[in-house]
Each structure stands twice: as structure tokens, then as C-alpha cells.
Amino acid sequence: MIEIKFFASLREDMGRGEAEINAADAATIGEVWARVADGKVLAENMLMARNMEYSSVDTPVADGDEVAFFPPVTGG
């Protein structure tokens, strides 16, 4: 299984804070998003992490991984 977490405003947008998928259903973080996003587009500036290390959509995932998605950070 791959554990997925959504943080900050993404939690509200997704209607949940966590999800799980079978590891055989996704080979990359981008594919994880496609499986859990209910058709929502992955923002170009979305932050994502695999096992607490910042990653990209092409980062491979495996059984037992944790994948986290964070909305873009703004500041001033």
C-alpha cells in the first residue's frame, strides 16, 4: 500500500486528509495523484514529497511509501 496525505488547503479541496492505494496501481508520484485526485489537475507548482523528501511527478513510488501533497507556498 501507498499512504497519501494532503496538507493545508489541499485537505479541504480533496475533502479528506489521507488516502491509500495499492502499490501496483501507481509507479510514480504523478500516477499516485491521478489515482486519488478525482480528475483534479495537478498544479504545476504543487509541492510533493516521498517519504518526507521533496520529489517530482516522475519520482518512483513503491509499496510502503508515504506520498504527501502540499499546495503552493506564497509569502511576502
Residue 62 belongs to a domain with what CATH number? 3.10.20.30
Confidence (pTM) = 0.92
pLDDT digits (tens, 9 = 90+) for 9-45: 999 999 999 999 999 999 999 999 999 999 999 988 9
At 10 the three-state DSSP class reads helix
Burial class (CB in 10 A: 0-12, 13-18, 19+), 69: buried
Mean pLDDT score of the chain? 94
Which pLDDT band holds residue 75 (cuts at 50, 70, 90)?
A: low
Q: Look at residue 52 and tell me if it is in a domain.
A: yes
Q: Is 76 among the domain residues? A: no
What is the tally of structural domains in the chain?
1
Boundaries of domain holding 63: 2-70
Query: Grid coordinates representing 63?
Result: 509499496
Of 31, 18, 34, 27, the closest CA to residue 68 belongs to 18
Question: Residue 76's pLDDT is what?
Answer: 60
Residue 10 lies in a domain: yes
